[in-house]
Amino acid sequence: MTLDDVLASANVVAVLLLALVTAQRLSELWMAKRNTRRLLAQGAVEHAPGHYPLIVALHAAWLLGLWLLGYDERVEPLWFGLYVILQVLRGWVLATLGPRWTARIIVLPGAPLVKRGPFRWLSHPNYAVVAAEIFVLPMVFGLPWYAAVFSLLNAAVLTVRVRAEERALRDSSGVDLA
């Protein structure tokens, strides 16, 4: 298949959606890095950094695979609408955490746990949103097998991540999140 063949078969809506998701993820990596630097400068401590490259690799593979498999697929309106709702929830989580949001486990000693916004109901609303996104975006492109595979992989990584984060928060604040 030549580049001309790929371009001719591309669905403009699918490509635009994938481009927006890619730009969003890259901007979030930039924001997370900025927030991490600021928190560390304030005396925060990073916990359990060993699994972070696995998270990055999983998300990069997920997005790259969506580009390879979804660029020429029809966008399913119902799933797209659900994805838009997830973006509103994502924005709510990020706005609630503000400068404390990072992609790593960074704990600022003495800082109280966030208990407002979506954190009133869930201990880890960002992980819930991300887990839903990992399932829903492939469904937007009619890729249920892809949604299932990456949802299982993400669940395995999140099991490690949530345990490490809860341990870090418990050790720092003395509060048990379970």
DSSP characters for 86-97? HHHHHHHHHHHH
Task: Please state the domain count of the chain.
Answer: 1
Of all helices (H) and strands (E), which one includes residue 29? helix 12-41
The tens-digit pLDDT sequence of the chain (178 residues) is 665 555 556 689 999 999 999 999 999 999 999 999 999 999 999 999 999 999 999 999 999 999 999 999 999 999 999 999 999 999 999 999 999 999 999 999 888 889 999 999 999 999 999 999 999 999 999 999 999 999 999 999 999 999 999 999 888 765 555 5
Q: What is the CATH number of the domain that holds 63?
A: 1.20.120.1630
> What is the extent of the structural domain holding 165?
3-173
Is residue 163 in a domain? yes
Is residue 21 in a domain? yes
Query: Is the distance from CB of 17 to CB of 81 less than 8 angstroms?
Result: no
Is residue 20 in a domain? yes
> What global pTM score does this model have?
0.90
Is residue 178 in a domain? no
